Structure 1
Amino acid sequence: MNRSRTAGAVLATALLMAAGPVTAHASASGPSARTLPQHIFAPYFEGYSGDDPAVLSAESGDKYLTLAFIQTPAPGSCTIDWNGDPSTPISWATYGASIAKMRARGGDVIPSFGGYGADSTGEEIADSCTDVGKIAADYEQVITTYGVTRLDFDVEDFSQTNAAGIDRRNKAIALVEQWAARQHRTVQFVYTIGTNMTGLDEPDGTGILQNAVANHARIDIINIMTFDYYDDQPHEMGKDTVTAADAVIAQLRSIYPHKSVEELWHMLGITEMVGIDDYGPPEVLTTADAAYVERWAARTGIAELSFWALERDNGGCVGTAGSDVCSGIAQSTWQFSHTFETFIRH
């Protein structure tokens, strides 16, 4: 996460054709994934923290987590690891036991590729590797290793303007979708991208979406990051989430004219940064803002609600902006989680 505007702001990417119900499939190494809910709350877990996702899932009550991040160990590589660290490879030995515990409690995980660290250093897999077939094979490796039914792609910073990487990523997604069809396996794809108050950046954001369409890459959820606007304006972060989402839907209507407005809303995701975000005040998502967003999300019927990040969901550093370990505001531990968890129960 940690959105940056240095490359011209916000990334965007692809959407389309809502997939049917996700089918559960067994991993060769552990229990099978479950069908994910049509409307899901899945906050990001900071994989570089050294924490156990199963432990934090149980403590917070968050059944579903988005595991961040998968990337290459160096620019030019076609090999992926968790956080680019060869000591945490894509294998059941890494996170497998935790995933099994979460599934036993009725939850699951969504592996996430990219993130600001990878996107700003050329270590996002589609930026790093020039072989589309190998990129697709990496995606398939994650799907089969963990038996997951959804992948997330967090694309920011330089990755949002790297035309070759954008094209390779969408081509690889299309290849995986063809592979999944042959395997009778349903896999969903999520693009986590930035937004301004006026919607996705033009032409970068809309261009990525158009590239996905041109490559016949079906993206099931467009998950917009409603924070780090970097516009030096006062913000009411809850209400501004709604304003940004409305603007994005207006853009998607022209890009995907065969989709109804209702279908587009059902393919939208929202990711907040709880508390004080990287930009700092006035961008502060309060606990009251979170309740406002959850009620709006439930009424609207969006596909996904999330936040950055689970390890920040505590009040341990009041006044600190953009910390990895606390929200920077006064709150009870797991207060944002408990607020957003209600979204699944609506």
Structure 2
Amino acid sequence: MITNTDFNNVQNWDPNATYTSGDFVRLGDTIYRANWWTMGNDPNTANGGEGTGEPWTSVGTAGENNEDTDPTGPGNEDGGNDNSGNEADNDNTSLPNAWSSSAIYTQGDVVVIGNAVYQANWWTRGNDPANTNGGPGSGQPWTYVGPADEYDPGTGNGNGTPDNGTGDEPDGNDNGTGDGNGDAGGDNGNGDAGGNNGNGDDTGGDNGQTGDSSGYVYSPYVHVTTEGGGLADLAQNTGGGLEAITLAFALAGQNEALAWDGQDSLAITGSASPYADEISALQNNGVDVTISFGGAVGSYVADQFNDAQALADAYQTVIDSYNVNRLDFDIEGPALYDTATNDLRNDAIKLLQDDNPDLMISYTLPVVPDGPWGDAGGLTAAGQVLLASAEERGVDLEYVNIMTMNYGPYYWNAHEGGNQGYNAAVSAAERVMLQMEDLGIESQVMLTPMIGVNDMYPTDGEQFLQQDAELLTQWALQNQEDVYGLSMWSISRDQAGAAGQVSPTHSGLTDGASFSDIFNATAGQSDTSVQQTSLDPMFDQVA
């Protein structure tokens, strides 16, 4: 809990510093809390509550009584407004709060109307759950999850009042505001003769290697502006030497069409673009490079265009500047629901693939595992619509990368017990495989966990540990027909740090064992001695 004295000691905002979800800064007498990863966004002019799309929230002043403000996110100890459940409410006997037409709800929030309990499928306000509910893929903002007289909050459902308030973190998987540092991408990996760097067991197909599967691809994320220079050395010294890497994020700048993290000083304009020498050195060392567009923060490139060919030309600039043939598109937050822009992007990607026959494309999308009421997880309805658009327009997807992170308490607690991070990831992946089959998409799946402490729900216990990574590598080996590879957010976080602390440069775990060492140790290996199986018991229960 943060007190008046703590507020007086909050550091002044620095426009050159990076902040992540839950960080506090001071401008004058006003205290602001970061909603996600941000740099250079003035809190005085870029603040608003959850769901506004602003990176900062004003939480009070240094001189006022702030004893109920919790800097770590969800929940006020004294029972203030909180989607994740107040201590006094979470007693296994109380019901969710009644739905309010004026309240904002995010994915995973639970409400009651009469004797019916509903769960929000995404950000929603003013949509009556009794009239706007349906299962995954229905396009409705609510799902009916059971009668109120059978509701058990012990499954991890919060009972607080949904709130845009100051200092509270919303319950559920907040795909509306994204995650702290931006999450994305995977990599198309290291193929050999007979296929375009694919990783399946296709015979002679464009996206698969000829013959037997040769193991999963490991392509971790590097947030380029966090890591700075030395990318080639980083790849050589990480996990015994990497064969693939994903660089994030290419965005629209203020005055430039393309720039790293949207910073005009890092504009992507040609062979002299920032990090060109670093990326070339990676490629010369045999490292496959994926450039990832999008993420949780900033303006997407596609938002600046209304013509598919012009947008394709902008993407071509990145291909030509860095001599890459792997592009990833991380679509999350409000952009996931912008169907017009998503359709335009898919039209542009199809044009791009027509002009670049060896170009490999992936989408990175948010997911959730199965919920405690037997509600199926996987991609959101909007994510499925985006993939259906890509399929309809003839986009050839190398793989679909899923962000196995930021689930929120409702979904996270449904998989409590040993190896929770692993079980939740597998549950989400298994569902996505079924959804892609239903959509007629024959691509494989890549999984990207956030290693260590989750940056959106650090106080709810959501984390991904080294033992989860070890189990996930074995599962990937056992399911090579469906699993393209593994990634992680991010290399910069792959080191020990203060326990429970959220940071872009450490995991928040005191155990410094390298996740990259674990993921990379079995990448590219073939394991045909074990049967392909789901290792998440919850999936087997509700499938």
Confirm or deny a common fold (TM above 0.5): yes
Q: Is the 8 A contact 1:127 1:162 kept in 2?
A: no
1:320 to 481, 488, 501: 501
Secondary structure of 2:320's aligned partner: helix
Aligned pairs for 1:82-231 within 5 A = 82-90=260-268, 91-93=270-272, 94-118=274-298, 123-181=299-357, 186-197=358-369, 198-231=376-409
Q: Is the 8 A contact 1:78 1:128 kept in 2?
A: no
Which deviates more, 221-230 or 205-214? Answer: 205-214
C-alpha distance in 2 between matches for 1:176 and 1:292: 38
Q: Is the 8 A contact 1:82 1:89 kept in 2?
A: yes
TM-score (norm 1): 0.82
Which deviates more, 160-169 or 99-108? Answer: 99-108
Q: Is residue 40 from structure 1 mapped to residue 217 from structure 2 by the alignment?
A: yes
Q: Which residue of 2 aligns with 1:22?
A: 196
1:336 to 515, 536, 542: 515
Alpha-carbon deviations, 1:249-290, whole Å to 9, x = none?
Answer: 11111111xx6xxx55xx111001000112223211001001
How many pairs align? 308
Q: Is residue 286 from structure 1 mapped to residue 462 from structure 2 by the alignment?
A: no
Which deviates more, 237-246 or 192-201? Answer: 192-201
TM-score (norm 2): 0.53
Identity of aligned residues (%): 29
Secondary structure of 1:116's aligned partner: coil
Q: Which residue of 2 aligns with 1:30?
A: none
2:477 to 259, 282, 298: 298
The alpha-carbon deviation at position 202 of structure 1 amounts to: 4.5
Q: Which residue of 2 aligns with 1:309?
A: 490
Q: Specify which structure has the higher proportion of helix.
A: 1
Q: Is the 8 A contact 1:10 1:193 kept in 2?
A: no
Alpha-carbon deviations, 1:182-230, whole Å to 9, x = none?
Answer: xxxx010010111011334442121111111222222221000011012
Alpha-carbon deviations, 1:145-175, whole Å to 9, x = none?
Answer: 2111210111110110111211111111111
Q: Which residue of 2 aligns with 1:28?
A: none
Change (3 A) 1:136 1:100: same
C-alpha distance in 1 between matches for 2:473 and 2:300: 31
Larger radius of gyration: 2
C-alpha distance in 1 between matches for 2:390 and 2:276: 31
Q: Which residue of 1 aligns with 2:68?
A: none
Change (3 A) 1:39 1:144: farther
Secondary structure of 1:345's aligned partner: coil
Q: Which residue of 1 aligns with 2:431?
A: 247
The alpha-carbon deviation at position 304 of structure 1 amounts to: 2.1
Partner AA of 2:425 in structure 1: T
Secondary structure of 1:314's aligned partner: coil
The alpha-carbon deviation at position 78 of structure 1 amounts to: 7.2
Q: Which residue of 1 aligns with 2:421?
A: 237
Q: Which residue of 1 aligns with 2:94?
A: none
C-alpha distance in 2 between matches for 1:39 and 1:156: 25
Q: Is residue 67 from structure 1 mapped to residue 264 from structure 2 by the alignment?
A: no
Change (3 A) 1:294 1:113: same
Alpha-carbon deviations, 1:82-114, whole Å to 9, x = none?
Answer: 111222222333222212222232213111000
C-alpha distance in 2 between matches for 1:282 and 1:79: 40
The alpha-carbon deviation at position 138 of structure 1 amounts to: 1.5
C-alpha distance in 2 between matches for 1:272 and 1:201: 15
> Which structure ranks higher in relative contact order (CA pairs < 8 Å, sequence separation ≥ 6)?
1
Q: Is residue 271 from structure 1 mapped to residue 448 from structure 2 by the alignment?
A: yes
Partner AA of 2:297 in structure 1: G
C-alpha distance in 2 between matches for 1:170 and 1:142: 17
Secondary structure of 1:325's aligned partner: coil
The alpha-carbon deviation at position 22 of structure 1 amounts to: 2.5
The alpha-carbon deviation at position 10 of structure 1 amounts to: 4.6
C-alpha distance in 1 between matches for 2:321 and 2:216: 25
Q: Is the 8 A contact 2:248 2:293 kept in 1?
A: yes
C-alpha distance in 2 between matches for 1:43 and 1:137: 27
Q: Is the 8 A contact 1:10 1:205 kept in 2?
A: no
C-alpha distance in 2 between matches for 1:268 and 1:201: 12
Q: Any unmatched runs of 5+ in structure 2?
A: 1-19, 21-35, 38-50, 52-105, 108-121, 124-173, 177-190, 198-208, 370-375, 526-543
